Amino acid sequence: MHYDLPDLRLVAAIADSGSLTRAAERVHLAPSSASHRLSQLEAALGVALFERHARGLTPTAAGESLHRHARQVFAQLEQMHADLAPYASGVNAQVTVFANTNAINCFLPGDLGDFLREHPNIRVSLEEQPSPAIVRAVAAGQVDIGVVAAEGDFGELQATPYRRDRLVLIVAVDHPLAAKSEIAFAEVLTEAFVCLHAGSAIHTFMMNHAALLGGRLDVRIQVRSFAAVCRMVAAGVGIGMVPRSSVLAVDALKIVEISDPWAPRDLQLCVRSPAALSAAAAALLAHLSGKAEAAPG
């Protein structure tokens, strides 16, 4: 079977407008040409794509399916144009990076900002993912560089230290837990929590560890940033678990150390092979690796 973009545009225009005449105008065809093209497409597919009636055309089940795929094709084309457009403006390389919530919220904004100012012709595509998904994506060659928590199995990937951090509990200064200096995660599962939004890497991490302990977090409210978590906790909404690097300097907050062995959340950079990286990806890896010495102990 032969498909081309004009066929898909015509199908989408008919499905959206419900009229062959209006669809023909939208795709700059004469109505007779649009009708002939549609008939040829239906004959090639061996199935009717639209039901004809006095009020116009409505998609059949096959037409709905083709329309859905057509929208996906056009969305991919738009993404392709968006990806290629920077090259026309002087961008000569792109690096893909997957990172966990901690890295994206606390370290990468400043570190990537420094790098991109030094390399204005490099574009970085950054996406937040949980650490296990990042390792899989790097191993599969889908991503140039991954930024993950140090725990876990990196397989055959090459790992390099990036930043040092630690998960801590934050509570309001008048909360009963404020009197403690350290506590196990299992002891706070009955508390109301302020969490990042569902789907964030740290939200998934917290839910998984609560499940391993046979419990379930009482999530009172979900917000979009660590700063918002801190402000909600300071206001007495609940307690939170955040990286130490993200805690706001607010008098109404108290930090309580977590005694669990997974609390240290040192970050690592992982790649399949440094030697196989593009020049741009290698430059970014070197830049981020250089931040390890600047990280607090």
**CATH code of the domain containing 196:** 3.40.190.10
Choose one of 72, 87, 102: the last residue of a domain: 87
Confidence band (pLDDT; 50, 70, 90) for 82?
A: confident
281 in the same domain as 139: yes
pLDDT band for position 148 (cuts 50, 70, 90): very high
- In a shared domain, residues 142 and 272: yes
CA dist., res. 145 & res. 59, Å (int): 44
Cα distance between residue 42 and residue 138, in whole Å = 43
Same domain, 179 and 249: yes
- What distances in angstroms separate CA 189 from CA 81, 241, 262, one per listed residue? 48, 11, 16
Q: Is the pLDDT of residue 85 over 80?
A: no
Among 52, 87, 122, the domain-final residue is 87
Overall domain count for the chain:
3
Residue type at position 282: A
Whether residue 159 is found in the same domain as residue 280: yes
Same domain for 41 and 58: yes
Range of the domain at 30: 5-87
Give 129-139 pLDDT, tens digit per residue.
988 899 999 99
* Rg of the chain over all Cα atoms, to the nearest angstrom: 26
Whether residue 51 is found in the same domain as residue 82? yes
Percentage of the chain exceeding pLDDT 70: 95
Q: Using CA atoms, how far apart are residues 58 and 235, in angstroms rounded to an integer? A: 55
> How would DSSP label each residue in 110-168?
HHHHHHHHH-TTEEEEEEE--HHHHHHHHHTTS-SEEEEES-S--TT-EEEEEE--BEE
Give the residue-averaged pLDDT of 159-182.
96
The model's confidence at residue 296, banded by pLDDT at 50, 70 and 90, is very low
128 and 10 in a common domain = no
Last residue of a domain, one of 60, 87, 114: 87
Domain CATH code at residue 78: 1.10.10.10
